[in-house]
Every structure is written in structure tokens, then in C-alpha cells.
Structure 1
Amino acid sequence: MGENVSFWQSLVTGHPVCSEWKQEAEGSIYQLASVLFVLGCMGGSGFFGLLYVYAFFALSFLCTCIWAWLDVCAADVFSWNFILLVICIVQIIHLAYQLRSVTFDKEFQDVYSSVFQPLGISLTVFRKIISYCNAEVVTLERDHCYAVQGKTPIDKLSMLVSGRIRVTVDGEFLHYIFPLQFLDSPEWDSLRPSEEGVFQVTLTAETKCRYITWRRKKLYLLFAKHRLISRLFSVLIRGDIADKLYALNEKVFVDSGFRFDIRLPNYYHVALPGRSNTATPIIRVQDFSTKRKSAKRL
């Protein structure tokens, strides 16, 4: 016990106390090194944040090396700061290489900038979504079908990048699919991972289209490994389904001319004049494509 006390006493009080402080300040190089180090501590996260941090740290350690070599003439101070400088340079090279390797085709870059980046998804996470599932960009010529009702199996998930897709069932027009919308989100959400099925609608390209496609099984494997990506796609797919339901809602109206809202079906029992609350209005689906054709003929 006495040995421990003497050790702590020598550690705390065994060294000479500063009787007086040095009057003159260190040179401008040392002050610049301190300022650069403080600026480096203000960096953020992510690739660019780390580049910012290591760049300022490298400049700070470089200034400290110059100060130790010219003013202090201390080999140990110079050596330690030089080692730290080399570590920062290696980190900068490594980060720059990673940033350079995270490059995508134009279609992937557009999808990332428009869909994933606003949600705070980093380039590294997006690279996993692209590379792990072997995502590819496919071209669909005009009047060619992406899926045929009752025949095409549901084995992938695709997002339209350019063009326009027409959705029909039994030859009747339902709605359009526009860029940055999923082509098969309702089909994806209707099946469990272990289930199989076929499309109940036909998807036909009205113009030349390009879309990104992921294989279903590989996406599920990715979801099992990364819960963040699983939740991300769950939000995107369900939002896409909601947009498609609203597009269908624009075509539905009741027999008296009131537009039918799929969210409030009971509203029309009390809103329609001259009807009892128990009466059920007749719901009709308006075929806008027929109206457009007749208008063109006129």
C-alpha cells in the first residue's frame, strides 16, 4: 500500500511545479497548427465529413512538424507528429478511393438523387442496394409488355426511370405509371417471401422506357441482412401503392355525378341529396381513354 501511495505522490507532486510561465508565445506556425486542429474537430460524418476532418488534421500535424523541426528542435515531437501526418494522408487516400469507386450509371445516379438521397441514404448504402442484388437497367421498347395478365411471374421489383407505362386489366385501362414509380409494387406487397404468383394486370410501354430492376429473391436476402434497407423499401413501396390508389380514385364516381372517394365510402350515404342514409349509391368507373378518343375525333 505504501508503495502505491509513493507512486501516486511522485506522479502528482513529484515533478517541479511551474514557478513562472513563459512570457513570449510560441511562433505563428504553432498557432496555425492549433487553429487547423480545432477546425478539423468541427467536421461531420460521412465520406465528405471524414475527408474534411483528416484534411485539416493533416495540415495541423504538418505545421506542428515544421514547428518542432525549426523552433523547438525536438526529435520526439517531430517524430510523433510526422507519424500522425502519415496516418491522416493514408486515410485521405483511402476515402478518396472509396468515393471514386462509388460511381453509377446515369439512371442509377438519377434515382439516387431523386429518391434515396432526400431520405438521407448514403452512397455506400445505395451501392449495397445496387451491387448486392445485381440491379440492372433494362430498355423496354414502345408497345412491348413488361408483364402480361395471368402469365408473367412475379419474380422481380422494378422502378421506372424514363417513359410511361399503361396498366390495363382485361383490356380496360386502369392508370399510368410515371418515372420514379415502381412497376410492380402491388404485386410485390401482395405476396410473402415464400409465395409465388403471376401478374393480374398487363403493363405496356406507351413510349420507349428504361427501368431499374432487382431480383426478388436477392432483395429478400438483402433485407434479411440490413433492416434499414428493408424498412426503406417498405416505406417506398407502400407510398407507391398509395399513389396508384389515388390514381384509380380519380376515375371513380357515383351515379349522381359526385366523385367517389375510396377513403370515405360512407360519406355519400349522407352527402347525396334526396337519398336515405341506408341507400347505397351506384359506383361507376369512368373511362377517360374513351373520352379522349372521342374528343380527338371531334
Structure 2
Amino acid sequence: MMLIISALITGMVTGLQNITTESPSMISDITTSLNTKNKVPEMGLVEPTKLSLPTSDMVNVSIHDQPSMWDLYLHHCSKWRPINHIFFQVANIFFLMSFLAPHTDIGQIWLRVGLMMGCAFSGMWAWSVECYLDAVLWNSVFILINFVYFSYQFYLMRPIKFHKEIEEVYLALFKPLRVSRRQFRRVLMCMRNVRHLKCHELYAHEKVTKVDSLSLVLSGKLVVSQNQRALHIVFPHHFLDSPEWFGVSTDDYFQVSIMAMEESRVLVWHRDKLKLSIMSDAFLQAVFDHILGRDVVHKLMQVSETMAVSNGHLPNSYEEGEDKPMLVVKKAGDGPGITAILNRQLQATDPNAWRLGRIDETDHETPV
């Protein structure tokens, strides 16, 4: 902006100097012509006496007759030139249209295209009408710069596609909160891996595994237990460690164990890397706090109903290195059992609820 203002001021001063330098030259021409007329041929005649005005009068005339620099600048165009060529008019129409571009992705494309078209017609006008080589070169440079920005913006607007499982996560959790695909891709850049779990494989061991990740179930089901007592079941599009997101450092350990009930796939993020990535984006911070907070509330509701009955546990007879059954249901006449509780509450509240109809509850312990 300062460069533009400086160039404008320089042009005005230069124009005024050109105008003021023309006035003394005109006066000197008039004086020269008068002196030529007053010369007397050398034929022996006496030169007539010259009349002279008082010096004070000449000073007064020169002061009153000299116009101001501002008047000279305003009235220096005694006659306007004809209207410019059609190329010049079209160029300015494209410039006007580019300045009206909205502040959107499409508006950025509109802006760059308008500037390129305007510079193209301006260069054609300078080449074919006025023959200004410098104007042609400058407009060529402007076209090249705007083409680079146009190409970059067009590249950013390309459709962003995800893997089928990731696409389902985006549509289910993030798109309803108006998270753009570009923002979600930024979140995915913090992904560690997609972990495949076999049936009865531990994802996290109680007081052994560190809390250094954020995990989302893509497919399958996992059970969360504490002291070999089942707390709740995690279904697809739910987080495994959402409670640890709030106020738990990466040096702490899981207070629960998480085990796969069937073949499962889990999306794992670098926890610290993800937090650093969204730290500068208040919107993404609010989105994750909302999604994870809602997930925590859902887990608390499950645990509160599950703990109402105390017959779901894992037997102590299994050694640490052996495969353990996921959930042991014990029916001793003191309640409907944890299986029925989980089945009823999840079918009532969770669209991803699953049935345990294939499990037959008997009086003896039945591994699930």
C-alpha cells in the first residue's frame, strides 16, 4: 500500500514539474519574439525610445498572473483523448468482476480467473494498440503469478476421499458437527495405525499398558473389565479410552483391561500428537471434547446399569498368559444377569446394539 501511495505522489509531483517548466519556456519565447520585432535595421535611423513600466508594477503583474500548482494540475488537460480501445474496456470489466469475488473457495477461483483475463486483455491492448513493451511484460508476469495461485487453489478443492471404514467414521461422528473433509484429513495425519485384533486378544492390560493413544473401534466388539469384572462393551464408532482423554497424562496406566470379543479393527491416534495438532484450532478442540464427552457419558450409563448386578466376572482360575473367556455369566437367582442387562440397555439406547441371543444362560458358569 505504501508503495502504491508513493508511486501516486511521485506521478503527481512529476506532472506538476512538467507543467511548471513549460511556463518559463513560453514566457522566454514571447520575450524573444518581442525583441525581434523591436529590432531596427541598421540604416542610420535613430532607435525610438522604449517605454518601460515601473518595477513595482511588473512585480505585481507577475504575482497576480501566475496560477497555483494545484490549478495547473487540475486544468492541464485542455482536451481529452478519445475513448480507449475495446481491449482496454474489457480488461477493466474483468478487473471489476474479480474485485466482486466472495470470500469462499469458489470466490478465490473467480478472483484468479478474473485477474488473469483482465491482465490478458490489458496486455493485448498494450501490444496491438499502444505498442508498449513494458506493459506487455508486466501483464505477462501478473498472468503467471495468478495462474500459480489458481492452480494451487484448484488443487485444494479436489475431492477428498477416505477408506470405506474411515468414511463411515467421518459420516457418523464428524460430518454432523460440520467438520470439513480437509479438517478431518488433518486429524487423520496424527493416526498411528489401524490395529487388527483377534478374538480374545488384549488391547490394553490393567495397570500395565500406558495411556499414550486415543482409539476408536472401526469394526467388531470389545469388552472393558476391571479386576476381572466386566464393566461395559464397546461397539463400532465408539472410543476405547475416552475417559483417559480428560486429565490423564501419557505416563499413567490404564485402570481397566480391554479385550476383543471377536475379530476387531481399531483406529489408533498418537494422543500427544493429536492434541498438539488441534491445539491451534478451537473448533476442532470443541469437536473432540464434545464427541469424547458424549462417549464418556454413554459409558457411565452402561456401567451404572451393569454394576447394579454383580454376577458378571472373569474367574480367577486362569493364569496371566492363558486365553481368557470374555465374559462369564453367573445366574444364581439373584438377578437377570449381566448379559440380559447389557442386552436390554444397549438395544434401547444404541443403534449399533447387538443381540446375545445365541448365549444360553444356565445355572452353571457359561463362558461367552
CA–CA separation in structure 2 for the residues paired with 1:252 and 1:85: 70
Give CA deviations for 1:267-289 in whole Å, capped at 9, x if unaligned. Answer: xxxxxxxxxxxxxxxx9986425
Matched, 1:65 2:123: yes
CA–CA separation in structure 2 for the residues paired with 1:59 and 1:205: 63
Letter in 2 for 1:140: L
Letter in 2 for 1:175: I
1:156 deviates by: 0.9
1:184 deviates by: 0.9
Match of residue 174, structure 1, among 215, 229, 232: 232
CA–CA separation in structure 2 for the residues paired with 1:118 and 1:12: 65
Give the 3 Å change call, closer, same or farther, for CA 142–295 of structure 1 in structure 2. closer
Give CA deviations for 1:234-292 in whole Å, capped at 9, x if unaligned. Answer: 333212222333455676889xxxxxxxxxxxxxxxxxxxxxxxxxxxx9986425786
CA–CA separation in structure 2 for the residues paired with 1:224 and 1:60: 42
Q: Matched residues, percent identical?
A: 23
The alignment's TM-score, normalised by the length of structure 1, stands at 0.63
1:214 deviates by: 1.5
Give the 3 Å change call, closer, same or farther, for CA 63–73 of structure 1 in structure 2. same
Structure 2: tracts of 5 or more residues without a match? 1-11, 17-67, 310-334, 345-354, 362-368
Give the 3 Å change call, closer, same or farther, for CA 294–129 of structure 1 in structure 2. closer
**Aligned ranges for residues 260-279 of structure 1 at < 5 Å?**
none
> What's 1:84 paired with?
142
Q: What secondary structure sits across from 2:240 in the alignment?
A: coil
> What's 1:139 paired with?
196
**Aligned ranges for residues 21-100 of structure 1 at < 5 Å?**
27=86, 30-31=89-90, 34-35=93-94, 37-39=96-98, 41-45=100-104, 49-96=107-154
Q: Please say if residues 252 and 285 of structure 1, whose CA atoms lie closer than 8 Å, have aligned partners that are also in contact.
A: no
Matched, 1:211 2:269: no
**Aligned ranges for residues 219-298 of structure 1 at < 5 Å?**
219-222=274-277, 229-248=284-303, 287-288=339-340
Matched, 1:162 2:219: yes
CA–CA separation in structure 2 for the residues paired with 1:235 and 1:241: 10
CA–CA separation in structure 2 for the residues paired with 1:294 and 1:229: 40
> What's 1:202 paired with?
258
Give the 3 Å change call, closer, same or farther, for CA 81–13 of structure 1 in structure 2. farther
Number of residue-to-residue matches in the alignment: 260
Letter in 2 for 1:135: R
Give CA deviations for 1:159-206 in whole Å, capped at 9, x if unaligned. Answer: 223334343443435233222x22210122251x36512242424243
The alignment's TM-score, normalised by the length of structure 2, stands at 0.53
> Relative contact order, CA 8 A, sep 6+: which one is greater?
1
Give the 3 Å change call, closer, same or farther, for CA 210–62 of structure 1 in structure 2. farther
Letter in 2 for 1:182: F
Q: What secondary structure sits across from 2:246 in the alignment?
A: helix
Q: Bigger shift: 239-248 or 118-127?
A: 118-127
CA–CA separation in structure 2 for the residues paired with 1:166 and 1:62: 66
CA–CA separation in structure 2 for the residues paired with 1:33 and 1:201: 70
Matched, 1:183 2:240: yes
Q: What secondary structure sits across from 2:267 in the alignment?
A: strand
Q: Please say if residues 152 and 198 of structure 1, whose CA atoms lie closer than 8 Å, have aligned partners that are also in contact.
A: yes
Give the 3 Å change call, closer, same or farther, for CA 233–30 of structure 1 in structure 2. same
1:157 deviates by: 0.6
> What's 1:14 paired with?
73
CA–CA separation in structure 1 for the residues paired with 2:98 and 2:305: 55
CA–CA separation in structure 1 for the residues paired with 2:79 and 2:284: 61
CA–CA separation in structure 1 for the residues paired with 2:308 and 2:245: 28
CA–CA separation in structure 2 for the residues paired with 1:199 and 1:236: 22
Q: Please say if residues 91 and 119 of structure 2, whose CA atoms lie closer than 8 Å, have aligned partners that are also in contact.
A: no
Give the 3 Å change call, closer, same or farther, for CA 31–152 of structure 1 in structure 2. same
> What's 2:210 paired with?
153
Q: Which has the larger radius of gyration?
A: 2
Q: Please say if residues 147 and 204 of structure 1, whose CA atoms lie closer than 8 Å, have aligned partners that are also in contact.
A: no
CA–CA separation in structure 2 for the residues paired with 1:102 and 1:156: 25
Give CA deviations for 1:71-130 in whole Å, capped at 9, x if unaligned. Answer: 454444433332221110121233455667987655555545554455454555545433
CA–CA separation in structure 2 for the residues paired with 1:248 and 1:106: 31
CA–CA separation in structure 1 for the residues paired with 2:72 and 2:295: 70
> What's 1:272 paired with?
none
Give the 3 Å change call, closer, same or farther, for CA 244–63 of structure 1 in structure 2. farther
Give the 3 Å change call, closer, same or farther, for CA 130–28 of structure 1 in structure 2. same
